[in-house]
């Protein structure tokens, strides 16, 4: 039995490698796709250039505050801010050439300064945005809020225009009938203190001391640290993308195994195989082993390429990585056999199985990481076997987790292997086509 089993496996491998062009193309396509997606999703630890959001700035005020606001926004590393007329900005956003446009209305500086203390007649900043970039809108709003607070407070506390506004506000307090006496007293004290602060700054400036203009600033700074396998190891987007593309194309290989088996059943070769004293387990088992070996070969070539070219490393358990590759390869082989067992006509089988494969790839996070999925989808996709393969590969590569993190994915994928394999053996139509 061992001779025949070995011969069946060897024959499948010979057939696979006999078409060298197909093998090369079969490896090149996932490499190209993996490289592309890896570049899009961060590349090698943020070394690749991050795309900055294009924002247009329409300044209808042309005040010190609005000009300061432009400078503040332009200095932000996440934004690519350019001045623009209103109609041009509106057209650019509509055409998708800019993510958003910020419109600073006339009198913004004056109104913002007044509203800063009195809270009355708040000026409105127009924010035109592309609805297909709603995720980025929140980011623009956040950056804009911080910038407005810093620029307006700086101008109010230290700028020439702000000083005038403080004086004006002091004179208006007395005539304000809606404000309580106690409140008037507190606000008068505050504005008087601001005046005294400004006078002190002027004296210091006259004596040659450094008096950089100050206002409200963000009371904190952030220190960003990507938590990966180690302190010196950066996230590598190619680890995820090569895993994802490997999974996708290996599943397609599994699909091909199933379709070829369906074709084989209609051929003289199947009659010759069935005429030999071979059990169904040997016939299907050998096909599963050869498919698993080919799948493992594809994974190793892909990760080998990613290691050499993009510096992808197995930061976690190498044994765990091998286990996940082996479990996924076996699961793919069983998936192919199940396709052959359930398939009736070739055309229908191809259609259904391509759909099933694409769903598994998509929901498993092979195209885009599952964290961009809504929460309910993140929870529900744990029933998809490719999700476990992806999580397992991520854990063993850039997350750098140990063997224990590989055990659950391996167990789940072996469970699916048993399920698919059982369906294949029980539903496979052994009799030759008459």
Residues that bind other proteins (CB under 8 A): 1, 3-4, 6-8, 10-11, 14-15, 18-19, 267-269, 271-280, 430-432, 434
Q: Tokens at residue 180, please? A: 């309580």
Distance in Å, CB of 267 to other proteins, minimum: 6
Residue with smaller CB distance to other proteins, 3 or 180: 3
Do the beta carbons of residue 314 and residue 243 sit within 8 Å? Answer: no
Q: Tokens at residue 135, please? A: 């995720």
Residue 310 to residue 237: CA distance in whole angstroms:
9
Distance in Å, CB of 11 to other proteins, minimum: 5
Torsion of CA 324, 243, 422, 350, to 10 degrees: -170
Residue with smaller CB distance to other proteins, 18 or 426: 18
- Residue 348 CB neighbours (<10 A): 10
Do the beta carbons of residue 324 and residue 410 sit within 8 Å? Answer: yes
Do the beta carbons of residue 349 and residue 339 sit within 8 Å? Answer: yes
Distance in Å, CB of 230 to other proteins, minimum: 47
Question: What does 379-405 look like in DSSP terms, one character per residue?
Answer: HHGGGSHHHHHHHHHHHHTTT---THH
Distance in Å, CB of 285 to other proteins, minimum: 13
The order of strands in the sheet holding 79-83 is 79-83, 53-59, 100-104, 126-129
Residue with smaller CB distance to other proteins, 9 or 298: 9
Residue with smaller CB distance to other proteins, 127 or 282: 282
Distance in Å, CB of 1 to other proteins, minimum: 7
- 236 DSSP β-pair partners: 44
Q: Tokens at residue 30, please? A: 């996932």
Residue 19 to residue 366: CA distance in whole angstroms:
27
- 59 DSSP β-pair partners: 104
Residue with smaller CB distance to other proteins, 175 or 277: 277
Residue 120 dihedral angles phi and psi, to the nearest 5° = -105, 155
Between helix 318-342 and helix 385-396 the angle, nearest 10°, is 160
Do the beta carbons of residue 78 and residue 52 sit within 8 Å? Answer: yes
Distance in Å, CB of 19 to other proteins, minimum: 7
Distance in Å, CB of 347 to other proteins, minimum: 21
Residue with smaller CB distance to other proteins, 22 or 28: 22
Distance in Å, CB of 3 to other proteins, minimum: 5
Residue with smaller CB distance to other proteins, 230 or 268: 268
In sequence order, which ranges of 19-128 are alpha helices (DSSP H)?
20-40, 64-74, 86-94, 108-118
From 108, 3, 7, select the one nearest 62 (Cα to Cα).
108
Residue with smaller CB distance to other proteins, 95 or 272: 272
Residue with smaller CB distance to other proteins, 135 or 275: 275
Distance in Å, CB of 277 to other proteins, minimum: 4
């Amino acid at each position: 039995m061992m001779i025949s089993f070995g011969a069946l496996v060897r024959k499948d491998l010979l057939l696979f490698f006999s078409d060298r062009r197909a093998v090369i193309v079969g490896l090149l396509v996932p490499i190209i796709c993996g490289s592309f997606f890896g570049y899009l999703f961060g590349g090698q630890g943020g070394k690749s250039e991050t795309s900055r959001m294009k924002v247009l700035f329409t300044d209808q005020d042309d005040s010190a505050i609005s000009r300061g606001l432009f400078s503040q926004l332009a200095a932000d590393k996440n934004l690519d801010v350019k001045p623009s007329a209103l109609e041009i900005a509106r057209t650019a956003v509509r055409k998708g050439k800019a993510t958003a446009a910020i419109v600073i209305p006339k009198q913004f500086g004056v109104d913002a300064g007044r509203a800063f203390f009195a809270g009355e007649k708040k000026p409105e900043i127009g924010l035109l945005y592309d609805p297909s970039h709603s995720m980025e809108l929140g980011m623009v709003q956040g950056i804009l809020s911080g910038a407005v607070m810093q620029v307006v407070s700086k101008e109010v506390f230290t700028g020439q225009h702000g000083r005038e506004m403080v004086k004006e506000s002091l004179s208006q307090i007395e005539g304000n009938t809606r404000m309580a006496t106690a409140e008037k007293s507190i606000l008068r004290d505050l504005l008087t203190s601001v005046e005294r602060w400004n006078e002190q700054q002027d004296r210091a400036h006259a004596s040659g001391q450094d008096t950089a203009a100050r206002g409200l600033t963000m009371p904190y700074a952030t220190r960003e640290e990507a938590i990966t396998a180690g302190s010196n190891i950066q996230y590598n987007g190619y680890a995820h993308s090569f895993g994802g593309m490997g999974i996708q194309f290996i599943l397609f290989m599994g699909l091909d195994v199933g379709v070829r088996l369906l074709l084989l059943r209609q051929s003289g070769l199947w009659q010759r195989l069935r005429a030999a004293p071979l059990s169904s387990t040997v016939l299907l088992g050998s096909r599963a082993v050869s498919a698993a070996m080919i799948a493992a070969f594809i994974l190793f070539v892909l990760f080998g390429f990613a290691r050499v070219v993009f510096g992808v490393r197995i930061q976690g358990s190498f044994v765990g990585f091998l286990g996940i590759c082996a479990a996924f390869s076996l699961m793919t082989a069983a998936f192919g056999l199940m396709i052959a067992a359930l398939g009736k006509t070739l055309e229908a089988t191809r259609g259904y199985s391509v759909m099933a494969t694409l769903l598994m790839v998509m929901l498993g996070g092979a195209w885009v990481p599952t964290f961009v999925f809504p929460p309910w989808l993140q929870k529900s996709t744990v029933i998809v076997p490719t999700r476990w393969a992806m999580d397992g590969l991520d854990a063993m590569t850039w997350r750098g987790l140990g063997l224990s993190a590989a055990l659950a994915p391996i167990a789940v994928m072996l469970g699916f292997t048993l399920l698919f394999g059982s369906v294949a053996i029980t539903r496979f139509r052994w009799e030759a086509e008459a």
